[in-house]
Structure 1
């Protein structure tokens, strides 16, 4: 291991800091840093029907199979996620930018005539044409600042081989080149 890398691990190398004199707010730093972090795009739905676009989706565990996402307390979808016992995560394909934008837009008719979906017997909508969908039973809801982290146990789903994922980076939907 190089001396410089070792110094970083020990903490000897000065780290950049946010200076109060520059007026840089840590919320601005947070937003700026995460605009540089590319993320996959998912839509989360639950019975109602209710749904929203999420870029905070993450795998948690393979055994048991758990996923998590964050949802803001101010989201119009939060009351349904809070009150339901299950949800469906949809991994969007690169051709589904319009669907991602629709489910991200406040006040949009997300389940209007232009949205193709089928309701599962348990009531959750499954969007058509996605790269994958996973039905999950809610296991935990954790307080995380102005959001809640929701953890779900995967109970069923489907993947479609060959579908390239939709990505989100710097405020724009895109795909691999």
Structure 2
């Protein structure tokens, strides 16, 4: 077998390799919320549909995140799919030390007391069913209890280290 002229040298596993490869992977942008006295939330690109029956989702959260102590104990979490015009909202929830639920964020207390963001494409409130340690993160698996899929519009996407939108 002859090597293709396009074949490049493989790079050994490292955090940098993982980050570089996943910069090439376009991902939808979500905000995960929870409450433990005060609302917390963070931007996630690791949201996945796990199963339809029962309806399960998963996402990863860094255990060093300021939101982790609340998410680690929360019985319920909110999942919000952001629209293409919500890059600033995504950046606010991604920025360390930001006032995520301040005057620039429209939200309300939703089912189970979970913070629900207004104006998103879709949202869910889910009951946490498992937390699986995974390196410096934890994978949270949650069962959907209620939601609203009717926001309409196009999703916000994260690709090559920036928020962007789909092109026609």
Please list, as runs of the form range in 1=range in 2, the aligned pairs for 1:90-129 lying within 5 A after superposition. 90-129=80-119
TM-score norm. by structure 1 comes to: 0.86
- Paired position in structure 1 for 2:10: 17
Which runs of at least 4 in structure 1 moved beyond 4 Å after TM superposition?
Answer: none
Find the aligned partners of 1:29 and 1:49 in 2 and give their Cα distance.
34
Query: With structure 2 as the length reference, what TM-score do the two structures score?
Result: 0.90
Alignment of 1:51-90 (within 5 A): 51-90=41-80
Q: In 2, Cα distance between the equivalents of 1:51 and 1:17?
A: 37
Q: Is the 8 A contact 2:119 2:151 kept in 1?
A: no
| Distance in structure 1 (CA, Å) of the matches to 2:166 and 2:152 | 13
Shift of 1:88: 0.4
Q: Is the 8 A contact 2:92 2:100 kept in 1?
A: yes
> What 5-or-longer segments of structure 1 have no aligned partner?
4-13, 20-24
1:43 to 27, 31, 35: 31
Q: What is the aligned length?
A: 161
Structure 2, unaligned stretches of length 5 or more?
A: 2-6
Q: Which has the higher helix share?
A: 1
SS in structure 2 at match of 1:83: coil
Corresponding residue SS for 2:72: helix
